[in-house]
């Protein structure tokens, strides 16, 4: 790495950091593997601290998701210290110290590229592979609350940027000019929304103004990073507040223009405003699922947001696309998700599973009367996600809970019996279903009209002739139907005719059917749209 001259630091950067003894950050609250990394690097003479979000969450009384380490050691030096280390990254090298199935991300201190404002008008950072010291590493971070370091050896929190004061006030501020920091990395706008909504912090007025002015620059960010930040907004358990703030600053039109167009188009009528409120209630239902069941998969996040567009495009009266809606529900979902997949690089797996979830929600709520195999449906690998989407729907609609409870109870019995569902009788009540066809092939079956007690085909009919001809081709003896003439000319008295089994009486009752599932007979939410 080429050495570049470092200009003298401004006066505020030469001030000594604030050091505060953190009595609450006891070793039992820290990750033991991260402590091993910090202590071993210290024994080899390197400077090392716990940094970033883990320090912020510990000071707020939260449980950190992961623990990151920043050190003065270079990546190759870290690898020489830890044999269980691998180096990753292309633009900037990171060291992953592996402990079984856990990874402690260890990064070398970095600094901001010098002279960005003077050298060019485009402040977007494309190369920040510059090593520095602890103070420079703290000042190159995005927000003050993320620029705190913790030294486990001394038990002190080291604050170079005023993050402790902002934590006490509940204020979110950038390190430096917010307009410059958001121009350097526009994805920081989404991160600001995430922290403000998840932590309940107030946005500094300067930050809010800069976010509104530079919301359009989010399109310049890498699509995978933008998509991942949107996923994090929805997994945070505060997606309702995050999406409202997204729309308030104008970022929703940049990140998810289809959703912004949907919300803007529904504001003209009272029915549309009810559908807008339903959209917000869906996000509130997603938050309840996150709080009770943990982080949902990406497919559930995509389906929760875009199912409203699928319902609109399935309704001939509200459809925006040209022509009538396709008969295939999957085609409607594909038409809605296609532009999103291209713009945000949505993975094929997530898009395919979200497609199945939208179709499954329709099947949950459709009117009864069609042939349906619930046990084969529950065997699909995405059924639990579909059931979670049904729960989100019931929470938002405030109805159809009997449908969800019926499916949840049947799912519990299905899991408790090892893949067997014990109903109240029937031809499949006590045996395992082996229908492994995809759900599209199962749920689209048409009912076969058949009599309750079909009569046996007459002897000598077309079917009997075909069977006799088939027997001759295979080399077997043709099956001759019994007749009174053949019985009267039987050779010898020793060959007595074998008595034929007595036919079943025509009035025999039909076999009992398996226990039916509760369905949304009124078609609430979906019967009129699909």
Catalytic residue status for 68:
yes
Q: Give me the catalytic one of 31, 68, 287, 529.
A: 68
Q: Is 113 exposed, middle or buried (0-12, 13-18, 19+ CB in 10 A)?
A: middle
Helices assigned H by DSSP within 60-204: 75-81, 116-119, 134-139, 163-169, 178-184, 188-199
What is the band of 92 on the pLDDT scale with cuts at 50, 70, 90?
confident
Query: Count of alpha carbons within 13 Å of 294, Cβ hemisphere only?
Result: 3
Segment 229-286, tens digit of pLDDT: 999 999 999 999 999 999 999 999 999 999 999 999 998 888 899 999 999 999 999 9
Strand partners, 98: 103
Instruction: Please give the pLDDT value at position 191.
Output: 96
Cα(462)–Cα(163) distance, integer angstroms: 89
Residue 510 pLDDT greater than 60, yes or no: no
Cα(225)–Cα(189) distance, integer angstroms: 12
* Position with higher pLDDT, 90 vs 451: 90
Nearest alpha carbon to residue 250 among 278, 228, 295, 219: 219
Cα(522)–Cα(323) distance, integer angstroms: 28
Q: Give me the catalytic one of 31, 142, 166, 217.
A: 142
Catalytic residue status for 166:
no
Catalytic residue status for 101:
no
Residue 429 pLDDT greater than 80, yes or no: no
Percent pLDDT > 90 in the chain is: 55
Segment 379-400, tens digit of pLDDT: 899 999 999 999 999 999 988 8
Average pLDDT over residues 325-345: 90
Residue 2 pLDDT greater than 70, yes or no: no
Instruction: Please give the pLDDT value at position 440.
Output: 40
Residue 496 pLDDT greater than 90, yes or no: no
Phi first, then psi: give them for residue 147, nearest 5 degrees: -100, 25
Nearest alpha carbon to residue 111 among 88, 141, 87, 76: 141
Nearest alpha carbon to residue 517 among 378, 398, 328, 391: 378
Instruction: Please give the pLDDT value at position 523.
Output: 42
Segment 181-192, tens digit of pLDDT: 999 999 999 999
Residues 422, 425, 429, CA angle at the centre, nearest 5°? 40
Structure-token pair, residue 147: 């620029």
Sign of the CA dihedral with 299 first, then 305, 311, and 313 last: negative
Sign of the CA dihedral with 355 first, then 357, 361, and 364 last: positive
Min mean pLDDT across 26-35, 66-75, 363-372 is at 363-372
Residue 95 pLDDT greater than 90, yes or no: yes
Q: Give me the catalytic one of 66, 122, 177, 261.
A: 66
């Amino acid at each position: 790495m080429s050495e570049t001259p470092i200009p003298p630091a401004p006066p505020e950067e030469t001030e000594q950091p604030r050091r505060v003894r953190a009595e609450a950050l006891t070793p039992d609250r820290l990750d033991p593997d991260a402590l091993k990394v910090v202590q071993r690097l210290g024994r080899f003479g390197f400077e090392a601290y716990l940094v970033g979000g883990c320090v912020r969450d510990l000071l707020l009384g939260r449980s950190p998701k992961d623990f990151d380490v920043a050190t003065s050691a270079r990546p190759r030096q870290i690898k020489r210290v830890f044999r269980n280390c691998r180096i990753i990254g292309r633009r900037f090298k990171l060291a992953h110290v592996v402990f079984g199935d856990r990874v402690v991300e260890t990064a070398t201190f970095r600094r901001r590229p010098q002279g960005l404002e003077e050298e060019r008008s485009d402040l977007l950072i494309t190369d920040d592979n510059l090593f520095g010291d602890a103070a420079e590493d703290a000042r190159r971070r995005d927000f003050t609350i993320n620029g705190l370091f913790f030294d486990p050896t001394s038990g002190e929190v080291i604050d170079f940027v005023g993050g402790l004061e902002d934590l006490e006030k509940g204020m979110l501020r950038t390190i430096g000019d917010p307009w410059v920091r958001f121009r350097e990395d526009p994805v920081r706008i989404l991160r600001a929304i995430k922290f403000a909504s998840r932590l309940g912090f107030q946005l500094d007025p300067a930050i809010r103004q800069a976010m509104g002015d530079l919301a359009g620059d989010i399109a310049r960010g890498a699509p995978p990073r933008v998509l991942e930040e949107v996923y994090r907004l929805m997994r945070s358990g505060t997606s309702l507040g995050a999406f409202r703030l997204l729309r308030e600053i104008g970022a929703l039109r940049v990140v998810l223009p289809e959703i912004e167009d949907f919300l803007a188009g529904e504001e003209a009528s009272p029915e549309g405003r009810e559908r807008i409120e339903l959209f917000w209630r869906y996000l509130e239902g997603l938050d309840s699922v996150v709080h009770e069941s943990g982080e949902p998969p990406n497919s559930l996040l995509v389906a929760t947001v875009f199912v409203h567009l699928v319902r609109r495009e399935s309704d001939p009266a509200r459809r925006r696309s040209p022509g009538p809606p396709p008969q295939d529900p999957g085609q409607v979902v594909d038409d809605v998700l296609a532009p999103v997949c291209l713009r945000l690089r949505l993975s094929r797996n997530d898009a395919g599973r979200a497609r199945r979830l939208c179709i499954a929600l329709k099947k949950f709520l459709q009117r009864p009367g069609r042939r349906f195999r619930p046990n084969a449906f529950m065997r699909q690998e995405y059924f639990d996600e579909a059931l979670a989407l049904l729960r989100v729907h019931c929470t938002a609609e405030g109805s159809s809970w009997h449908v969800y409870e019926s499916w949840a109870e049947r799912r519990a019995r299905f899991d408790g019996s090892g893949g067997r569902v014990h109903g109240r009788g029937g031809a499949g009540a006590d045996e395992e279903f082996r229908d492994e066809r995809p759900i599209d092939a199962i749920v689209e079956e048409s009912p076969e009209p058949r009599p309750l007690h079909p009569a046996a085909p007459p002897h000598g009919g077309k079917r009997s002739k075909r069977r006799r001809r088939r027997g001759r081709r295979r080399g077997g003896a043709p099956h001759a139907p019994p007749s009174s003439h053949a019985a009267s000319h039987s050779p010898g008295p020793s060959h007595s005719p074998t008595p034929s089994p007595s036919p079943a009486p025509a009035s025999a009752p039909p076999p009992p059917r398996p226990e039916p599932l509760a369905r949304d007979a009124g078609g609430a939410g979906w019967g009129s749209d699909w």
